[in-house]
C-alpha cells in the first residue's frame, strides 16, 4: 500500500485525492515502525536483546542522517530539483522491499504453525 501510495502521488493532480495516497503511506508507515522490531526480537537471544536492539537502531538512524546530508544535492542534481521523483523512487524501493520481506522467516511464526 505504501509503495503504491508514494508512486501515485506523481499521477494525482487533485489535492483532495492525495488523501488516498496518504492512507496507503500511513498503513505502510505503521508497519515500518513496528515490524522490524518484531522480526528482530524473535531472532536474537533474550539476554542480549538490549545490545542487539541498540545496534539495530544505529542501522535505522544512520541512513536517515546520511539522507539528510546528501538527499538535497541528489534531488537538486539528479532529479533536477523535482522532489516528486525522489518520492516515486521511494515508492519503487518500498515495493521491492515488500517483495523481499516475503522471504524472511520468523522463527516464532514457524514454531506456532
pLDDT at 104 (0 to 100): 78
What's the number of domains the chain is made of? Answer: 1
Q: What range defines the domain where residue 52 resides?
A: 2-112
pLDDT at 31 (0 to 100): 86
Q: Summarize the chain as % helix, strand, coil (round to 5).
A: 80, 0, 20
CA-based max dimension of the chain: 52
Interatomic CA distance for residues 47 and 90, integer angstroms: 36
Residue 109 has pLDDT above 80, yes or no: no
Confidence of residue 112 (pLDDT cuts 50, 70, 90): low
Mean pLDDT of the chain: 89
Task: Please write the tens of the pLDDT for every residue from 60-94.
Answer: 899 999 999 999 999 999 999 999 999 999 999 99
pLDDT at 44 (0 to 100): 86
pLDDT at 110 (0 to 100): 54
Query: From the CA atom positions of the chain, what is the Rg in Å?
Result: 17
Which residue's entry shows cell 502521488? Answer: 9
Amino acid at each position: 500500500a505504501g509503495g503504491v501510495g508514494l508512486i501515485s502521488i506523481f499521477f494525482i493532480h487533485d489535492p483532495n485525492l492525495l488523501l488516498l495516497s496518504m492512507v496507503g503511506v500511513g498503513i505502510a508507515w505503521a508497519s515500518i515502525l513496528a515490524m522490524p522490531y518484531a522480526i528482530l526480537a524473535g531472532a536474537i537471544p533474550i539476554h542480549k536483546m538490549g545490545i542487539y536492539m541498540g545496534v539495530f537502531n544505529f542501522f535505522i538512524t544512520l541512513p536517515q542522517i546520511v539522507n539528510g546530508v546528501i538527499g538535497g544535492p541528489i534531488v537538486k542534481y539528479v532529479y533536477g530539483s523535482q522532489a516528486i521523483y525522489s518520492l516515486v523512487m521511494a515508492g519503487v524501493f518500498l515495493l521491492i522491499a515488500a517483495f523481499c520481506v516475503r522471504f524472511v522467516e520468523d522463527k516464532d511464526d514457524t514454531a506456532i504453525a
